[in-house]
Structure 1
Amino acid sequence: MVSSFGPLLRSLRQAAHLTIEELSHASGVSVRAIGSMERGASRGPQQRTVQALAEALRLSDEQRAELVEAARAGRPRPRGPVPGACELPREAGDFTGRARELETLRLLAEQAGPREAAVVASISGTAGIGKTALAVHTARQLAEEFPDGCFYVDLRGMDSAPLTVATALLRLLKALGVTERRVPSDEEERAGLYRALLADRRCLIVLDNAADEAQVRPLLPASGAVMTIVTSRRSLSGLEGARQIPLGQLTDQEAAGLLQAIVGGKRTEADPDGVARLARLCGNLPLAVRIAGNRLLSRPGWTVSQLAGRLGDEERRLESLAAGDLAVAAAFALSYRQVSGTARVAFRRLALAAAPDFGVPLAAVLTGADLYEAEDALEELVELGLLTSPYAGRYVFHDLVRLYARTQLEQEEPVAVRQEARVRMESWLLDVAGVAGRWFKDGAPPPEWRSTVTLDSRQEASDWLQTEGTAWLEALRSAARRGEHATVVEVVGSLDWFADLWRPWGHWREVFELSSGAARAMGDRLQEAVHLNWLSWALTVERRHEEAEATALRGLEAAREVGDVRQQGWALAYASEALPRASTETLERDLDYSRRAAELFLQAGDAEGYPQAMMRHMSALRRAGRFEDAVEHGLSVVATMRDPAYGGSSAMVSYGLGAVLSQLAHACLALERWEDAVEFFHQALGELSAHPILQVVGRAQRGLGGALRQLGRIEEARKALTEAARLLEECGLTEEAAKVAEELGDLPDPA
């Protein structure tokens, strides 16, 4: 007859003259666990525990075998899955989308084998994104692959008191057929028994709504043909060996499909535009789409567009996305309750950010924290699914989460505090924008300038201005609304040269409208002239030629009123640039504007404006067919600018010289002076590199390619034209880029 494990262990320990504490120290098994075994509370410890005890007791082979057999006899005999225990929850029957994630989970299931490490998948994402639905749907789809049962436990990770590991193990063991009286009281023993039972079975376990890694680890089998799917609002990136499956929002098509599956095809097919709008207002969030669908089901008289109209009001949207005990705001609230300290403040105040994404420095400004603390706060919010981080250093709200954050901001912070935070954020954005812009006019920022961002190069300045474009533009609008006219004029005054480098942005007209309006409100006619001239440039970029010319002439009038010769020159230069190049009707005005502009720049001693005007004048001469005159003027200007006594900013003068050389080269092209054209284009490209405006460089490369082709230097021509096509496409001149592509296609094939 096999001895009971507890009495046998006690007799062997006493024979070895060891106390429980001494045996614990020697074996590594806890005092509590040994006590439970000897009392009979734990009758069948796992094999590794028995081996550790045998080693510590220095048992003979016969004694060791007897102890192992006693442990084996004490282990409960599994009875198979218990009906009704840890059953998968009901599916709604309208699961939609997630094809890629389903395929990933199916492939993972195929890896589950008896001699392999147990497969673990961790599905993470924000509240309402469909984590549980995906896990349960997957389990039902794969049920035949796991004949020993599919089990589900809600770990209640967002509750104030999540499910304990011991309770979760108790439920799983009972579901696996272990009677409650045979379940060990010790948590470690429970976990060991759980792993032992699963080692010889093919099961799928869904651990839903996990709080963190510590709650999950004891519930993961070590090996065997078992697959565990964990869901959590946190990423659980600390789970070793787990396949991470982050969930994003549904695609437009998937969200519309889910709505149709809930409501029925008749109503959705009658209003496809309403379906698309409703899904968009729900942020393609599955929970929100389901609630909207349920509301439509309970109101058969409503059309889809009627509900979309109600959700169109941002102030009422979250309130409207509730049906029965389902509510989007309540789902977000569970996550928000987990947040504390700086992260809580950051979550609320980031709702003030105008841009769809933001970085650590902005969060630091809004919270008053340093960069490290702000980054930790943002990462905590990502962990809880309240933010996503599409790439390093940038963070994004889901649209509905942003609305929830705004609601919490309004409820928890006084109006004065909110306003102070907004003004602090916008002042910081405008300060950095102004300093970044000066990189392209005056060089590096003042050495005493300090901020939460570094702008140690033109590239860093350009990257910041483009990345934060939406944010600083909204800050500029706010400053204009508050009547901070001097700030608007000063900030925009630093951005004119950068604007030339970022022509495709599409907002420069508004920027210069704001600044010229601010100058006018200040009664500063000189600054109004400056900013009207830049506004004329922006209108020209948008090909609004008549408005551009009229605006430049308004700038000319303002400059004349204050007697500023330099700005009169710029006004005429921009008026020249505004004229459409394809029109012969404007040719005489072009020649007149550009000639007068050059004369005024010489009178004012403007070393940067003079080559700009002459470049435009040479362009007009070429349009008039006066190519020899264009070459003559070009050579004269080049000689003047290469005189060591010629002044001006080196970078801007270099750009102006490059622009003149490019016009000179184009004139040589027209005269079929191919060698001269190639030489002048090469010189032009070297000078233009100081301030590389894409369309100017692209057109120079195109001209160079044409000249090289005429000289039979085909591979060099191919290289130049390829670069021209890339640059012109990048700056939005798609028609020109297409023509260059045709020219490339006409080149002979390589020998």
Structure 2
Amino acid sequence: MSKTFGARLRQYRQAAGLTMEELAEGSGVSARAISDMERERSLAPQRRTVQALAEALGLPEPRRSAFLAAARAGRPRVVPQVSAGYCALPRPVPDFIGRAGELARLAAVVASAEPRPGVAPVVTVSGTAGIGKTSLAVQAAHVLGAAFPDGTFFLNLRGMDAHPLTGGEALTRLLGAFGVRADQVPMHEPDRAGMYRDLLRDRRALVVLDNAVDEAQVRPLLPGPGPSLTVITSRRLLAGLEGVHRLNLAQLPAGDAAVLLRRILSDDDFVREPDAIDEVVELCGRLPLALRIAGNRLSSRPRWTLRDLTNRLIDERRRLDQLVAGDLRIAAAFGLSYEQLSSPARRLFRRLALVTGPDFDGRLAAVLVGADPDETEDYLEELVELSLLQAETDSRYRFHDLVRLFARERLTEEEPAVERDAAHRRMVDWLLDVAVVAGRWFDPEYGGTASVAGGVALNDSDTARTWLETEVDNWFPALCSAADTGRHTDVIRLAEALHWFSDRWTHWGHWHEVYGLSRAAAAALGDTRLEAVHLNYLAWAQSVIGRHRQSAASALAALDLARSADDGTQQAWALNYASAAYFRLGEFGPSVRYAQESADLFEALGDADGYLQPIAFSAVALLAAGRPADAQPFVQRALAILDDPDSQVSPQVAVMTRPLTLWRAGLVHRALGESVQAATCLREAYDLLHREGVPTMEIRVLVELSAVLSGLDDLPAAAAALDTAASLHETLGAHGPAAELRAQRAALLG
């Protein structure tokens, strides 16, 4: 039996006559980490760690290779947990046929050890709608999946939608699929792209980016060096992408198309009509999607012959000439399949065109037709059976782009405007109602009680969050629709319900639009105080996306309105947001002034939660302005309030305000030359942040703590802080920053 990595490490260290501490000094790997590896408490050392140990041990070949191989063998391969319908790989098409050359090219890219030195391979798959781009990419991912033990992922970039995913939104979803929590996702798109590349650097993962709109959308999603493979599908050639492998799909060869149709039909009677088969193939443009739809319908009609199908396809061209899809014969296949649906399924099919998001579940479908969800599921399965709908998972469905257009045409032509509008209104009402209940889970005044909204069981905050994130592409357009139709009270109700949740999902990137709508709604209602409230929300949201000058303007406008309404609370919040905006603009004078005015107002109002915010900004602004002595009373005051059991600070605010205030106190102490006190505050801040699981802030505190300890000549402790910070970076997949911190650690120890 071959030796484990831990056993080899102990054997080679002892053979070299090194203690753990000596090996730690020579390799830059902590003695504790070495001990954990030898005792096999740590089974997944990073590649750089193993290489550093091999160098320090002076291992010659073949021992070095065996050492590295033992580390790889002991490293567990965990496939990241992927949210269903989020980045999960769809099921392969059961009757996939042809494309042998394209699959062979993809396999060759994987088999090549270095497709392009230093760069992870990227393959683009392009072609017209219905040509089979997605089917090929999914088939390849399933066939080649064994070569990618770190997971296979799929993300629809929604290139043909009115609002495709932005690069930042796509990165947030991919990072989430790799296990990065929302609060760990960097604020800005370039930082998200850097984290994503770091995650892929040492992982063998296959990522399918489906339905890309253009080069600009996918550039942030391209990997750096590493063993991953990225496959991008698009109707465009994406000619602007450099250094990629390209597959441009043409129509299926006539022979493959005929085989596909025969396989779908699976009936000898049909096979005996070869001429008719060839004619159907040509009428369907040799496109897999059209062949599948037509073939499934013929199979379900036992009295039809292939000649019947051919005649119907020809006739349908006149009916569907308004469906612009490049080839009207594709639309003919859609129409033929549509006619075979039961009446309730046809009505459902038409009304699903009202859904604005890329996918939906059975409960939303049931709302559109006013039917029981269980009954509606039967009709959804009827649509799936006829290839008019795609089953993403067991509970979510989506249209093919062209089928959605066809459904929209059927809806316009077959249902009166009053019925269309009524169905749309039901959908909007349902989405707004469920979103309100889900959002209130995060509001201290409402949250904490299991409830059912619109048939959706919202039993806890995790369920509520999952629904809000999964259905965002449906409830957000519903909010926009409500705003467009003058439903001002409904707009404000949802925006208010989402206020606390928005602070937990800042990376979504559209909160400024939500609060822009709610501010406009409040103005339309003529409610000055309410407009001030939502202008304050807008100021926060603008700051989140880096629009600090706009944030300052919104906050000051809210201040004027709040003064007109004689609302002290909203005045105080407006001053607080103005202080934060000016601080981030580097204008510390106004920041300090507004923060102090805000603090005075909150104190006069007896609002302890609110008061803590501006005094924190006062401290950091004064510190940034080079006035640490003036900053110190503010952090001391904040800590005194947090320590006072009678201060009435809510638990939700205290749990994060205390460690952040301790961190700021540490910064102030350090600036005043009070290193011992600084170290004490920073250690306590780290312990509290670690308890709450906030790694991004833990890293910032540890780096500051290391600098303080270094100044106190406690180099081992300073190095340990950097080592812990580097390990946290690695857990986030940020191997570049981790390497920088380890280099600093090595330099610190000399």
Please give the TM-score of this superposition, normalised by the length of structure 2. 0.56
**AA paired with 1:723?**
L
Cα deviation for residue 463 of structure 1 reads 2.0
1:550 corresponds to 2:553 = yes
1:747 corresponds to 2:745 = yes
Give the alignment partner of residue 341 of structure 2, picking from 339, 342, 363. Answer: 339
1:619 corresponds to 2:601 = no
SS of equivalent residue, structure 1 residue 579: helix
Which residue of structure 2 aligns with residue 16 of structure 1? Answer: none
Cα deviation for residue 644 of structure 1 reads 2.1
**AA paired with 1:527?**
L
Give the alignment partner of residue 681 of structure 1, picking from 660, 685, 688. Answer: 685
SS of equivalent residue, structure 1 residue 395: strand
Cα deviation for residue 632 of structure 1 reads 3.9
Distance 2:539 2:732 in 1: 24
Give the alignment partner of residue 571 of structure 1, picking from 570, 574, 578. Answer: 574
Which residue of structure 1 aligns with residue 589 of structure 2? Answer: 588
For residues 392-449 of structure 1, the C-alpha deviation after alignment (integer angstroms, 9 at most, x for no partner) is: 5332222211110101111222211111111111111111222222122225365564
Asked if the contact 1:126/1:384 (under 8 Å) is kept, the reply is no
SS of equivalent residue, structure 2 residue 397: strand
1:719 corresponds to 2:724 = yes
Change (3 A) 1:597 1:100: same
Distance 1:330 1:138 in 2: 19
Give the alignment partner of residue 562 of structure 2, picking from 559, 573, 576. Answer: 559
Change (3 A) 1:154 1:555: closer
Asked if the contact 1:654/1:687 (under 8 Å) is kept, the reply is no
Cα deviation for residue 726 of structure 1 reads 7.1
SS of equivalent residue, structure 2 residue 503: helix
Distance 1:518 1:562 in 2: 17
Distance 1:684 1:658 in 2: 6
**AA paired with 1:412?**
E
Distance 2:706 2:441 in 1: 32
Distance 1:103 1:233 in 2: 28
1:493 corresponds to 2:499 = no
Which residue of structure 2 aligns with residue 459 of structure 1? Answer: 462
Cα deviation for residue 382 of structure 1 reads 2.7
Asked if the contact 1:430/1:472 (under 8 Å) is kept, the reply is yes
**AA paired with 2:623?**
R
Distance 1:447 1:381 in 2: 34
Distance 1:647 1:413 in 2: 58
Which residue of structure 1 aligns with residue 647 of structure 2? Answer: 646
> Where does structure 2 lack aligned partners over 5 or more consecutive residues?
1-96, 109-127, 137-248, 282-289, 300-319
Asked if the contact 1:658/1:687 (under 8 Å) is kept, the reply is no
Which residue of structure 1 aligns with residue 269 of structure 2? Answer: 167
Asked if the contact 2:325/2:402 (under 8 Å) is kept, the reply is no
1:537 corresponds to 2:540 = yes
- Range moving further from structure 2, 623-632 or 347-356: 623-632
Distance 1:509 1:658 in 2: 28
Cα deviation for residue 335 of structure 1 reads 2.3
Which residue of structure 2 aligns with residue 283 of structure 1? Answer: none
Cα deviation for residue 104 of structure 1 reads 10
Distance 2:702 2:668 in 1: 15
Change (3 A) 1:431 1:320: closer
Change (3 A) 1:551 1:407: same
SS of equivalent residue, structure 1 residue 577: helix
Cα deviation for residue 703 of structure 1 reads 4.3
**AA paired with 1:720?**
A
Where do 1:156-555 residues align within 5 Å?
165=267, 167-168=269-270, 232-233=292-293, 319-321=323-325, 326-442=328-444, 443-444=446-447, 449-555=452-558
Asked if the contact 2:682/2:701 (under 8 Å) is kept, the reply is no
- Range moving further from structure 2, 503-512 or 710-719: 710-719
**AA paired with 1:444?**
G
Distance 2:531 2:727 in 1: 41
**AA paired with 1:746?**
Q
Asked if the contact 1:602/1:610 (under 8 Å) is kept, the reply is yes
**AA paired with 1:455?**
L
Distance 1:234 1:103 in 2: 30
**AA paired with 1:374?**
T
SS of equivalent residue, structure 1 residue 327: helix
**AA paired with 2:339?**
R
Where do 1:695-714 residues align within 5 Å?
699-700=700-701, 703=704, 711=714, 712-713=716-717, 714=719
Where do 1:15-54 residues align within 5 Å?
none
Distance 2:448 2:709 in 1: 42
Distance 1:623 1:104 in 2: 54
Cα deviation for residue 490 of structure 1 reads 1.5
The structure, 1 or 2, with the larger RCO (C-alpha pairs under 8 Å, 6+ apart) is: 2
RMSD of the alignment, in Å?
A: 4.4
Distance 2:324 2:564 in 1: 58
Which residue of structure 2 aligns with residue 607 of structure 1? Answer: 608
SS of equivalent residue, structure 1 residue 747: helix
Asked if the contact 1:658/1:686 (under 8 Å) is kept, the reply is no
Change (3 A) 1:627 1:333: same
Please give the TM-score of this superposition, normalised by the length of structure 1. 0.56
Larger Rg over CA atoms: 1
**AA paired with 2:526?**
G
Distance 2:560 2:335 in 1: 59
- Range moving further from structure 2, 421-430 or 623-632: 623-632
For residues 341-360 of structure 1, the C-alpha deviation after alignment (integer angstroms, 9 at most, x for no partner) is: 54333321111111122222
